[in-house]
């Protein structure tokens, strides 16, 4: 029996020895086949990942502090800011600004009507003289024409105001190939004509937005008033202070959407204002041509 156990033991030792030698040979072969820098990169990346994982307990420990901050009430004993007074002041400031905005718009419209009455004359307005007063008054685009109803029939006074304000009513003879004047004079007139017409069409484009807005002015004004009133109302501030953060964030996103629309409109307006300034300079250059012709004539010894 002992001999059998001894032989089994010797066989086991031999088997283990062969296995270990085989594994060592295979590992050595694999190491020879794989690029050493590649293994180094794997080791570095693994160490980096483990380093970040080791910091997770530190980050997780901060989560209760973050939650406690969200759930903390205003005016705690260690809070250096008197939030009750702060909220009350901000509510008062914003409410006043909102009220002033709406009141100033209403007062501006009333003042404009008063100024136009003084300009045209109350007697002329009463006598509807001239009959195209609505074509000349900006208040027509605000839905409050001077003459209501308009004494004329089948007339679009808003469109007529756009034509007058844009300068499309001012026309010059188009250049003709049959003209027999000096070539320089013909060229100067062509350039002048092209410049003026280009500016007139741009003016019509810019003012056409006001014309289109006049069709939805009542609705737009009502919606604006509602938003201004809501955003400056005391109940609104109470809701913002007392509701959950999720509710507050959703409201902020809604107002952010409205702000995006207004900012886009502002950008478009700024582009148009820049173009208008450039065209004003162009008109000055075109009108300076008359002075240049006079100076040129004198410089050439003419009368």
Question: Which of 44-48, 97-101, 185-189, 284-288 is predicted least confidently?
Answer: 284-288
Q: What residue segments make up the domains of the chain, in order of their start?
A: 2-61, 93-299
Q: CA–CA separation, 75 vs 83, rounded Å?
A: 6
pLDDT at 126 over 60: yes
pLDDT band at 5 (very low <50, low <70, confident <90, very high): very low
Residue 130 preceded by cis peptide, ω within 30: yes
* Selection from 136, 144, 141, 71 nearest residue 111 by Cα: 144
* Selection from 261, 157, 142, 272 nearest residue 204 by Cα: 272
Tell me the pLDDT tens digit for each residue of 137-193: 989 988 889 988 888 888 999 999 999 888 888 888 888 888 888 888 888 888 888
- Give long-range contacts, CB 8 A cutoff, 24+ apart: 52-56: none
Phi, psi of 202 (to 5 degrees): -65, -45
Residue 159's pLDDT is 92
* pTM, two decimal places: 0.63
Residue 282's pLDDT is 78
pLDDT band at 215 (very low <50, low <70, confident <90, very high): confident
pLDDT band at 136 (very low <50, low <70, confident <90, very high): very high
* pLDDT (average), residues 108-123: 90
Asked whether the CA dihedral 217, 222, 225, 226 is positive or negative, the reply is negative
Residue 279's pLDDT is 81
pLDDT at 28 over 60: no
The percent of residues above 90 in pLDDT, for the chain, comes to: 7
Residue 35's pLDDT is 55
pLDDT at 38 over 50: yes
């Amino acid at each position: 029996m002992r001999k059998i156990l001894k032989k089994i033991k010797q066989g086991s030792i031999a088997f283990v020895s062969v296995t270990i030698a085989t594994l060592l040979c295979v590992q050595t072969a694999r190491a020879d086949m794989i690029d050493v820098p590649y293994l180094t990169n794997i080791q570095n990346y693994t160490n980096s990942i483990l380093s970040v994982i080791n910091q997770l307990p530190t980050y997780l420990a901060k989560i209760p502090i973050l939650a406690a901050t969200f759930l903390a009430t205003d005016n705690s004993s260690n809070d250096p800011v008197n939030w009750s007074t702060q909220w009350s002041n901000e509510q008062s400031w914003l409410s006043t600004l909102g009220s002033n905005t709406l009141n100033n718009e209403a007062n501006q419209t009333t003042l404009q009507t008063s100024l136009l009455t003084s300009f045209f004359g109350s007697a002329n307005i009463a006598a509807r003289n001239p009959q195209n007063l609505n074509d000349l008054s900006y208040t027509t685009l605000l839905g409050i024409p001077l003459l209501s109803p308009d004494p004329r029939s089948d007339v679009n006074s808003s469109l007529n105001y756009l034509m007058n304000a844009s300068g499309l009513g001012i026309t010059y003879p188009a250049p003709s190939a049959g003209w027999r004047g000096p070539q320089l004079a013909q060229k100067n007139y062509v350039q002048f004509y092209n410049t003026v017409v280009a500016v007139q069409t741009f003016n019509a484009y810019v003012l056409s937005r006001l014309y289109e807005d006049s069709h939805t002015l009542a609705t737009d004004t009502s919606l604006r008033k509602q938003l201004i009133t809501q955003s400056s109302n005391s109940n609104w501030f109470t809701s913002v202070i007392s509701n959950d953060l999720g509710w507050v964030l959703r409201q902020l996103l809604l107002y952010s959407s409205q702000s995006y629309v207004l900012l886009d409109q502002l950008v478009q307006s700024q582009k148009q204002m820049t173009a208008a300034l450039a065209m004003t300079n162009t008109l000055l250059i075109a009108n300076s041509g008359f002075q240049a012709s006079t100076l040129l004539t004198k410089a050439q010894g003419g009368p």
